[in-house]
Amino acid sequence: MIRTLAIAFISLLIFGRCAQQVAPTGGKKDSIPPNLVESFPVNKTLNFKGKKIELYFNEYVVVDNINQKLIITPEADNPYTYKQNGMSVALTFKKQFEDSTTYTLNFGDAIKDFAEKNPAKNLKMVFSTGSTLDSGRVYGSVKDITTNKPIFDALVGLYNVSDTLNVAKQKPYYFSRTDSSGTFSIENVQTRAYKLIAIDDKNRNMLYNAKDERTGFVNQIIKAGADSVAYQINMFLSDNTPLKIQRTLPRVNNYSVVFSKPIEKVGVTFMNKDTLPYLLENGTALKFFNVDPHPDSTLVKLTATDSLGTVTDFEQKIAFQAQRGKERQKDPLGLTTLPEQNKPLTNEFVYQFVLNKPIKFLDDQKITLITDSLTHEPLHSFPYSWNVTHNILTVNAKSFAKDSIKWDLPKGSVISVEDDTLARTLLKHPVLNEENYGQIKGAVLNADTSTHFIVELVDEQFKVFKSVYTSPYTFRHVPQGKYMIRIIIDANRNKRWDTGELDKNRQPEAIYYLQDKILLKSNFELNDINITLPK
């Protein structure tokens, strides 16, 4: 009996294993996307009056995020539900489409085969609720003006021309989205006048959010037609939202006024005889320091200028928190430098000491530049200057060091408005070795005497290494690596790039890139790296 049971158990194990289902191995992977074999209505149907659209494919399909990926132009404001059933997909709309209108349904990659999820290619349907199909077309490409890179998935829209057009509140009448190469094509549109605008549309609500979305536009009103030109749209970030005081942060030692966006500069006017030291932190917070004696509150007028040059005035009451303990707990006095510590320096250099509080005393005899063990030059030997808020010291220095350059700041040589001081600080920098760096020379061609420009050398992350304002130009002491050169047309001569404004129909200052990247090796000099401006 035991032997019989053992044989039965072994047999069950063997045949049980043989009966397991295993995914088939080998064979060619399915890489063929599903094909549309039939649709209702038929593509390019006229006088369509229905509310249901059906698509039939040659294999089993699945639907992937169709509510986000299906683009219907013009924007229909017509909700729909969908049903996927084996080899077919059906869309049922809530109401009939508007009369005498050509509609385009672009499915993108919303429908894929069941097995390998290959998306159906170029899946698009066009129909008209009238007796003709509109034939207008607008096409072109979109790029970021600062990087010269194409922008993927930007919303490019045709807007009805109106004096009250507001893309933050109005959706485009026709639209498309850019592909990975930044190109777009809006087809089957009515042949009439439009405003052509591109936006990032990160939240896909088809409305422009100036706070964090780029935009770009064509200045002139365009007319869609079968033979329209290719439009190049340069997108840029332009926060034109009204500048506001977002919040205030009252403390015992200081009082911060935080703005709703970065500001370029701010003027402070005290409305009474009292004054307080202050500084601008990170471009967004204006910090006032509580120094005695002063009244319980101080009224100030703030004149703030944002990146678009818009000036806004505020009146603000500065009121510090009441002190509860016997002694204030102060934030420590901090120091950073430009260039950063341990960065190589040439023997002639511009140096910045950046402190986190306004400074009321600096001993320019005790602060010294150390060239070697015997040579200590006091700070007053060099030209230096403070910024308006007295927290950034800029020095034009010169050294004869061979190995390292050092700044020695003894304790007590820097005292803030809060009467605290830095601990003894020693800042070290190696002397730059010319053999470890390269040089790039070139010229700007086709520029007349009236053209003001900025030549910038940028790395692969578009970080600016150096800017110059003349031609021919020379970039010295460039680390080995890959670089790009771009030219900014400085139309207003302020030695910086200025963005555009959609509301004012003002384009950003033009930027032109050298077509090829530059590969620079150590101890090499590249000459005749010229860039030609268009005529």
Residue 12: what pLDDT?
40
The residue behind tokens 């053992």 is: 6
Q: Give tens-digit pLDDT for 161-174.
A: 998 999 999 999 99
Mean pLDDT of 347-351: 95
User: Do strands 425-430 and 518-520 pair parallel, antiparallel, or not at all (unpaired)?
Assistant: unpaired
Residue 6 has pLDDT above 70, yes or no: no
Residue 514 has pLDDT above 50, yes or no: yes
Banded model confidence at residue 28, pLDDT cuts 50, 70, 90: low
Show the domains of the chain with their CATH numbers.
36-128 (2.60.40.1220), 136-237 (2.60.40.10), 245-319 (2.60.40.1220), 335-432 (2.60.40.1220), 436-532 (2.60.40.10)
- The closest alpha carbon to 304, from 264, 266, 257, belongs to 266
Q: What b/e sequence results for 208-219 when a residue is b if at least 16 CB atoms lie within 10 Å of its CB, and e otherwise?
A: bbbeebbbbbbe
Sign of the CA dihedral with 271 first, then 273, 276, and 277 last: positive
Residue 225 has pLDDT above 80, yes or no: no
Q: Give tens-digit pLDDT for 135-150.
A: 899 999 999 999 999 9
Banded model confidence at residue 274, pLDDT cuts 50, 70, 90: confident
Between the CA of residue 34 and those of 84, 85, 86, 114, 125, what are the distances in Å? 14, 14, 12, 9, 16
Mean pLDDT of 341-353: 95
Residue 295 has pLDDT above 50, yes or no: yes
DSSP H helices in 156-215 = none
Task: Pick from 176-190, 283-297, 349-363 the range whose average pLDDT is largest.
Answer: 349-363
Cα-based torsion angle of the residue sequence 158, 164, 166, 170 in order, rounded to the nearest 10 degrees: -60
- The closest alpha carbon to 526, from 465, 441, 467, belongs to 441
Quote the CA–CA distance of 173 and 194 in Å, as a whole number. Answer: 9
- Name residue 275's amino acid: T
Cα-based torsion angle of the residue sequence 189, 192, 195, 200 in order, rounded to the nearest 10 degrees: 0
Compute the half-sphere exposure of residue 382: CA atoms within 13 Å on the CB side of its CA: 23
Mean pLDDT of 16-29: 47
Residue 292: what pLDDT?
76
User: What is the value of pTM for the model shown?
Assistant: 0.82
The residue behind tokens 């670089």 is: 483
Residue 75 has pLDDT above 90, yes or no: no
Contact call for residues 165 and 107 (beta carbons, < 8 A) = no
Q: Give tens-digit pLDDT for 80-97.
A: 999 999 999 999 999 999
Q: Let me know if 119 is exposed, middle or buried by CB neighbors in 10 A (0-12, 13-18, 19+).
A: middle
Contact call for residues 174 and 193 (beta carbons, < 8 A) = no
Quote the CA–CA distance of 379 and 360 in Å, as a whole number. Answer: 17
Tokens of 326: 């016997």
Banded model confidence at residue 230, pLDDT cuts 50, 70, 90: very high
Quote the CA–CA distance of 77 and 165 in Å, as a whole number. Answer: 19
Quote the CA–CA distance of 288 and 389 in Å, as a whole number. Answer: 11
Share of the chain above pLDDT 90, in %: 80
% helix / strand / coil in the chain, to the nearest 5? 5, 45, 50
Asked, as a colleague might, if the bond just before 34 is cis with ω within 30 of 0, I would say: no
- The closest alpha carbon to 490, from 456, 465, 458, belongs to 456
Sign of the CA dihedral with 10 first, then 15, 16, and 20 last: positive
DSSP conformational letter for 45 = B
Mean pLDDT of 502-510: 95
Residue 294: what pLDDT?
78
Banded model confidence at residue 13, pLDDT cuts 50, 70, 90: very low
Mean pLDDT of 458-463: 95
Compute the half-sphere exposure of residue 233: CA atoms within 13 Å on the CB side of its CA: 32
Instruction: Specify the DSSP element, H or E, that contains 405.
Output: strand 404-409
pLDDT higher for 11 or 46? 46
Contact call for residues 178 and 255 (beta carbons, < 8 A) = no
Compute the half-sphere exposure of residue 235: CA atoms within 13 Å on the CB side of its CA: 27
Quote the CA–CA distance of 135 and 126 in Å, as a whole number. Answer: 11
Beta bridge partners of 281: 285
Q: Give tens-digit pLDDT for 361-384.
A: 999 999 999 988 788 999 999 999
Banded model confidence at residue 447, pLDDT cuts 50, 70, 90: confident
